[in-house]
Structure 1
Amino acid sequence: MAKVEIYTKATCPYCQRAKRLLDGKGVDYVETDILRTPGERDTMIGRAGGKSTVPQIFIDGKHVGGSDDLAALERGGRLDALLAA
């Protein structure tokens, strides 16, 4: 299974939606709350090509975007292939 990383904030509804999708697929992921871990917001922005909104999601180190992007991958039938890598 692919390594999934998700940068979040505790009160973010889009973060909750993305995590629900991943949880529903039984995917293990590493979650980093950017407000609780000093410096992680800057790390996320750097990795995400300047994007500063949460969530920002990475699969095997590749930036896939936010919650809407993850949902679009699922709707398009492409998410399972990325997760199986």
Structure 2
Amino acid sequence: MAVKIEIYTKGYCPYCSRAKSLLDYKEVEYTEFRIDKQRELRDVMIKRADGGSTVPQIFINDKHIGGCDDLVALEYAKKLDALLEK
């Protein structure tokens, strides 16, 4: 089973770009939801992220990872690859 990665973003967002760059570097596919183009997704994101309203909000296999800093912290702790392999 392939890993399911979802990321909620906005167009001009350096943190979104950094998070997507890390996922691209890891060569994993992800689904991007642009909440600035589909405004109805913002409420969905906030609910899924337990109130998190900043972007990006990242989910791996439906588990809320958090934002860019959280994703990068997982990488530095050498825990991200294990999440991406499932």
TM tier relative to shorter chain: over 0.9
Q: Which runs of 5+ in 1 are unaligned?
A: none
The answer to whether structure 1 residue 64 and structure 2 residue 65 are counterparts is: yes
Pairwise CA RMSD: 0.6
Q: In 2, distance between residues paired with 1:15 and 1:57?
A: 10
TM superposition shift of 1:35: 1.0
Q: Which residue is 1:17 aligned to?
A: 18
User: Stretches of 4+ moved more than 6 A in 1?
Assistant: none
Pairing 1:20-59 to 2, within 5 Å after superposition: 20-59=21-60
Q: Which runs of 5+ in 2 are unaligned?
A: none
Q: In 2, distance between residues paired with 1:8 and 1:38?
A: 11
**TM-score with structure 2 setting the length:** 0.97
% of aligned pairs identical? Answer: 60
Q: In 2, distance between residues paired with 1:74 and 1:27?
A: 14
1:14-36 CA-to-partner distances (Å, cap 9, x unmatched) read 00000000000101000000011
Paired residue secondary structure (1:49): coil
